[in-house]
Amino acid sequence: RKEVEQDPGPFNVPEGATVAFNCTYSNSASQSFFWYRQDCRKEPKLLMSVYSSGNEDGRFTAQLNRASQYISLLIRDSKLSDSATYLCVVNKRGGADGLTFGKGTHLIIQP
Amino acid sequence: NAGVMQNPRHLVRRRGQEARLRCSPMKGHSHVYWYRQLPEEGLKFMVYLQKENIIDESGMPKERFSAEFPKEGPSILRIQQVVRGDSAAYFCASSPAVGEQFFGPGTRLTVL
């Protein structure tokens, strides 16, 4: 079983729609969770951290379910500029440590 | 405050040659991480270093790959006797003691 699994997509979504991704992780001892965004042939950039209580940043909402080892990302009122690959990322030990990345979910927002 | 810098951005090597990839962390960051992204794959952790110390090299291939982060100068990822399967994007990230990892633009290695 892969350490972090995501649906690769692509998700083709009309502009203004709401889209949701999720991922699952295999290591129950994982400490920290993130969503990164990667544009084509660019470096990954942190979109948001994910907390058990759920957190929101503008149009983006992230949720963590530790019991199910499941992480989600919701994007509301999607923009053309949201087109990218969204990477689910886990830090096994917390603190300074190598990150474990999913392969990513490819999102295409259509005008 | 300049971000993480990597050079070269593109590197072409023939099979059997050596590749040296450099990474300068953000100012004030003492932790450096190297990741590899093979074509159509996710990023894979390779090694985590602090100044003059390798902290975790669990993701490094056993042979031909080495990394260092000297007291002065950039971190270096060295690949000896490159093979076609080494062709990938190599990303470096840096962080302060505890915190977000900031990624550099990557070095795209092509092995002919």
Residue B34 in this model has a pLDDT that exceeds 60: yes
Q: Do B91 and A43 touch (CB under 8 A)?
A: yes
> What's the confidence (pLDDT) of residue A53?
86
Confidence category of residue A95, pLDDT binned at 50, 70, 90: low
User: φ and ψ at B86, to 5 degrees?
Assistant: -80, -10
Confidence category of residue B15, pLDDT binned at 50, 70, 90: very high
Burial B16-37 (b: 16+ CB within 10 A, else e): eeebebbbbbbeebebbbbbbb
Which residue of A4, A30, A33, A43 to mutate against B (max B Cβ within 10 Å)?
A43
> What's the confidence (pLDDT) of residue A1?
72
The mean pLDDT value for B17-21 works out to 98
Percentage of residues of chain A with pLDDT beyond 70: 97
> What's the confidence (pLDDT) of residue A94?
62
The mean pLDDT value for A65-75 works out to 94
Q: What's the CA gap between B51 and A48, in Å, rounded?
A: 28
> What's the confidence (pLDDT) of residue A12?
96
Question: Does the beta carbon of A40 lie under 8 angstroms from any beta carbon of chain B?
Answer: no
- CB-CB: which of A45, A87, A99 is closest to B45? A99
- CB-CB: which of A87, A99, A103 is closest to B101? A99
* CA B87 from centre of chain: 13
Mean pLDDT of chain B: 94
* A6 in Cβ contact with A103 (< 8 Å): yes
Residue A96 in this model has a pLDDT that exceeds 80: no
Q: What's the CA gap between B43 and B35, in Å, rounded?
A: 6
Q: Do A99 and B42 touch (CB under 8 A)?
A: no
- CB-CB: which of A44, A97, A104 is closest to B48? A97
Partners of residue A103 in chain B, C-beta under 8 Å: 41-42
The mean pLDDT value for A84-100 works out to 85
Question: Does the beta carbon of A45 lie under 8 angstroms from any beta carbon of chain B?
Answer: yes
Q: What's the CA gap between A69 and A75, in Å, rounded?
A: 20
Contacts of B102 (CB under 8 A, 6+ apart): B3, B4, B26, B29, B93, B94, B95
Residue B1 in this model has a pLDDT that exceeds 60: no
User: φ and ψ at A82, to 5 degrees?
Assistant: -80, -10
Percentage of residues of chain B with pLDDT beyond 70: 99
User: φ and ψ at A72, to 5 degrees?
Assistant: -130, 160
Q: How far is B18 from chain A (nearest CA, A)?
A: 24
Q: Do A42 and B41 touch (CB under 8 A)?
A: no
The 10s digit of each residue's pLDDT in B60-105 is 999 999 999 999 999 999 999 999 999 999 999 999 877 789 999 9
